[in-house]
Chains A and B, each alone.
Chain A
Amino acid sequence: MSDNRGPAPDGATDGAATAQADTRSVKTGSLSSLVNTAGVYGIALLFLVLGAVLQFTGAIGNFLSPQNLLNIVDAVALVGIVAVGMSFVTYSGNYADMSVPTTMGLTGYICIELLRYGFIPAIIGAIGVSLLIGVLNGFVVGKFKANPIIWTLAVNYVTMGIIRLVWVNKQIYPDMKGSSPDVVALFDAIYRLRFFKLIGLPLVILILLVVIGQFVLTKTSFGVKLKLTGSAPKAAKLSGIPIETVIMTSFVLAAFTAAIAGLAVTSLSRVGAWYNGAGYDFKAVTAIVIGGMTLAGGRGTILGVLGGSLIIGILNNIMTLIGIGTFSQDMVRGAIFILVVGINAKSLRSLGRDDA
């Protein structure tokens, strides 16, 4: 999309890349991505220290209290879940999945509609439908190299239209669809279930997803193929890697985590509404990019993405604790975002990467 060295469909001759090739110093992809990840947690740590300092100077109260730290991670759990899935799309060199919001909304509607047939069928059905969206996205982007952003944007529109046509602009409630109270209770618990009265289910899911995601990305054959696909799609294809399938899988993963987040949001707000997932697309992208994944693809880690989400969480927390108005918080968030990414980009270039 924005730099002609990205794996954009036009496969632009990377003249500029080679023009700068000589200036590249020698570092390996994997190492530099580790460096990035480290960097991300460095920033996260920086913010933590900042918080601590502010606490000891008395500017803000008990920032370091377990409860507060837990609040921070709780707050980013949902965005984190979406981000982990979407980061596979980014890693595959396809920027982002903008159909996430309505995928989340749709999941909620489907699940609530199916609750009357029992909890498990409802969950499976809902996730199943969302996976179909992932397959569609993956097929079109993978096979025909459609521009991912625009395509998923279009899918987002269509899905929105479908939701509102089917449910005639109504929102639906878990307990008003003739489903048994205990099933509704179960549904209610998706977000609210807390282990040891402390760690919420979404957080547990997030951690699981991060661990699995990190493993898949670094240790499995799919991960390796994804890396090649993301860094050099043509070369990957000509190495016998079925990049169409690889890309499709990444979109399916994105849809899957979006579905999980969608269920959680619906459970939390106890309503199936088309606006349930609004804003999660950009939130996730922010987390991913701050997490050190470059839109050019093939670089970054899932751990980094988690770090990215945490940075956002800590930042918001500190700002509210200081008492910065939510409007000014927007400005700070935006500035920090550009700053962090800018630094990341710079470090990448100093590592001999000409893409940011």
Chain B
Amino acid sequence: MRRSGKINFLAQGDKYRIYILFVVIFGFMSIFAPKFFSVFNFTTILNAIAMNATVAIGFTVVMICGQLDLSIGTVITFAGCLTLGLQPLLGFPGSIAVAVLGGALVGFLNGILVAKAKINSFIVTLGTMTILQGAIYQYSGGNSISVTTDEAFAISDFLQVSLLPLLTPRILITLILVVAVEFMLRRTRAGRNFYIVGGNRNTAWLAGINTDRYLIGAFVLSSVMAAIGGVVSVLVSTAATLKLGEISLMYVISATIIGGTAMSGGKGGVLRSVIAILSLEMLYTGIILFGLGNEVKIFFAGLILAYVVLYEAYATYRHEKNLGQRPELMKELATRLSTKEKKLLGSRGA
């Protein structure tokens, strides 16, 4: 008998879990949360996730490589500050370019330290996070940066005009990036190589895949996406606040995990992470629409994350326990038990 993926329920369950979660939250909120089900509300939700969704793209790839990037939060803010801080000198095209390149540079540094110097990514990115935090304050002199020229307003307005219902340029940018990277991961050799590198670096190396290049690439992608997220976000709000990316880190980590990207690497996908963020955001919005406070938000976010982690851990636990069980023995067992029961009945009868 051919053993097929189908018999592995757990894997299947994992595959669709995030979409199920999405449907459940969407359904529940649409039915019960006041004013939830409206094009307008969905648009605000999509606007709200635009930044974190963009950030999650790169972060997911890093996690697929079995690494962690704690610096994304500060990269967002840093890129934001550069975009508006340098605008007077370079104009928007220039400042945006510098911001994104700056992001790429940070990612490159992270990548080098992880891949070449072989320092644990948790540590490396914790370090760069601290450095960037200082750099941001130093650069901004402690005050947030804004550009309130008509040009800036024009750009901001443009990014928010709705091309179609639910679709503003800002959302479109995120959408394009998500689709592009997801496609790259699924349909190109390079994309699959990220998974192999994350799954087992040795395998990748033996297959002649330049693991270091992919690790560095992942970190660069992560920082660049974070930077883009920051740039777009400040272009919309015409102001770079020093706390811009503060919340993003924990948010994106949780979402990525909930989305089903394993921290051990080799598993997951960008789309799932984004769906997870969307689900969380709908949950949050719903909770607010119910007139409940942020503590409820935090509490539920924690519960969902905890549930997912626990579920996955328990699943693997069970899976390993029963690995190699012989179906024919289980059948035999069933028959034997039934015979035993018959015996029992018989003896009672006598």
Contacts and interface: CB of A to CB of B under 8 A. Distances in A.
Q: In the complex, A touching B, CB below 8 Å?
A: yes
Interface of A: 1-4, 8-10, 12-13, 15-16, 19, 95, 140, 143-147, 149-151, 153-162, 164-165, 169, 282, 285-286, 289, 294-295, 325, 327-335, 337-338, 341-342, 345-346, 349, 354, 356
A334 B127 contact: yes
B313 A331 contact: no
Interface residues of B, number: 59
B134 A327 contact: yes
Interface in B7-21: none
Chief secondary structure at chain A's binding surface: helix
Contact of A330 (B113, B133, B200, B205): B133
Given A334-B131, A356-B120, A146 B200 contact: no
B88 to A, nearest CB: 22
Contacts of A338: 113, 119, 123-124, 127-128
Contacts of B124: 338
A98 to B, nearest CB: 9
Interface in B255-280: 257, 262-265
B264 A8 contact: yes
Nearest to A1: B263
Interface of B: 66-68, 113-114, 117-124, 126-135, 137-138, 142, 200-203, 205, 250, 253-254, 257, 262-265, 293-303, 305-306, 309-310, 312-314, 316-317
Given A4-B66, A160-B298, A282-B126, 4 more contacts: A3-B120, A4-B264, A153-B254, A160-B295
Nearest to A136: B306
Contact of B134 (A13, A164, A330): A330
The 4 closest A-B pairs by CB, nearest first: A161-B299, A157-B302, A330-B134, A334-B130
A143 B317 CA distance: 9
A334 B134 contact: yes
A8 B121 CA distance: 14
Nearest to B141: A327
Contacts of A151: 306, 309-310, 313
B111 to A, nearest CB: 13
A341 B119 contact: yes
Contacts of B250: 153
A290 to B, nearest CB: 9
Q: Which of B138, B264, B301, B312 has its CB near the most chain A CB atoms (within 10 A)? A: B264
